[in-house]
Chains A and B, each alone.
Chain A
Amino acid sequence: MSDVAERVKKIVVEHLGVEEDKVVENASFIDDLGADSLDTVELVMAFEEEFGIEIPDDAAENIQTFGDAVKFIKEAS
């Protein structure tokens, strides 16, 4: 697993309090990992800080799964 994926996973595990092995490519933050809509906003905030990037609101809406997040961040950073 890439460094980006590891760092994203760490944030997700810490923020949502889920087991590491639940955070897989297609895991949906809301449907599979128990996030509410505000959690997804906070995750995006945490990604922005961790990677020093800006994630615009329309892009943030499309980040639904762990895989989406890793893909977006790899392209943006």
Chain B
Amino acid sequence: MFDLTGKNALITGASGGIGADIARSLHAQGATVGLSGTRTEPLEALKAELGERAHVLPCNLSDMDAVEALPKQAIEAMGSVDILVNNAGITRDNLFMRMSDDEWNSVINVNLTATFKLCKGVMRGMMKSRWGRIVNISSVVGATGNPGQANYAASKAGMVGMSKSLAYEVASRGITVNAIAPGFITTAMTEKLTDDQKTGIMSQIPAARMGEPAEIAAAVVYLASAEAAYVTGTTLHVNGGMAML
């Protein structure tokens, strides 16, 4: 089950904790992976770890010209993009009343607008081959909201609405578009939380622990697989029960 041999996957944010594990898991199922991210060093390290069937495709997602070039570079390197995982995301938290336009715009641009452009960039190839998988990594806070994260929550909720709309349009072409909404996962992003915040979060998670990046990666493998062909426009919540949506 979930064999991805012969499929080419582009993963953004592959230098981060969740993205790297997504790349590892897709690769382990037989896919060729295009590792994108801002920092080249961890991408090269991951490529070295994976060996064959791995390509490093550096891209700064706040640079819209670079975003538009990325699908073309991925197709050049791998031949096609059959699976796109929009995993990259940034936070710039602030109280709503203090949030600057810059904090708002930068988060919306990287998390939502870059996702839109990358989906658009790979769509032609997927439509032609009548097969495609897009997995957009949203967040539980896109559904629940979170104080201090109006920009981030808006971007993540936006990804869900965008995914559903695109899923409608391309379902008849064998292309599925889904979102995964991780809860609190042990990564550099959640490391930034204070101890008080972590204690507060933990009390809200029925599973009584944070999730692991590999648990998100497993969800991506499922949605990327041929077996998930009938699943589209959905959001898979992977959050230890903290929000049962």
Contacts and interface: CB of A to CB of B under 8 A. Distances in A.
Interface of A: 38, 41-42, 45
A45 B170 contact: no
B169 A38 contact: yes
Interface of A is mostly: helix
A45 B173 contact: no
Contacts of B127: 38, 41-42, 45
A17 to B, nearest CB: 14
Interface size class of B (residues with CB under 8 A): under 10
Contacts of B170: 38
Interface of B is mostly: helix
A47 to B, nearest CB: 13
Interface of B: 124, 127-128, 169-170, 172-173
Contacts, number: 10
Closest 9 CB pairs of A and B: A45-B124, A42-B127, A38-B169, A38-B173, A45-B127, A45-B128, A38-B170, A38-B172, A41-B127
10 contacts: A38-B127, A38-B169, A38-B170, A38-B172, A38-B173, A41-B127, A42-B127, A45-B124, A45-B127, A45-B128
Contacts of B124: 45
A32 B188 CA distance: 56
A11 to B, nearest CB: 13
Nearest to B169: A38
Given A41-B127, A45-B127, 8 more contacts: A38-B127, A38-B169, A38-B170, A38-B172, A38-B173, A42-B127, A45-B124, A45-B128
B6 to A, nearest CB: 23
Nearest to A49: B128
A42 B128 CA distance: 8
B243 to A, nearest CB: 34
A50 B226 CA distance: 30
A49 to B, nearest CB: 9
A34 to B, nearest CB: 14
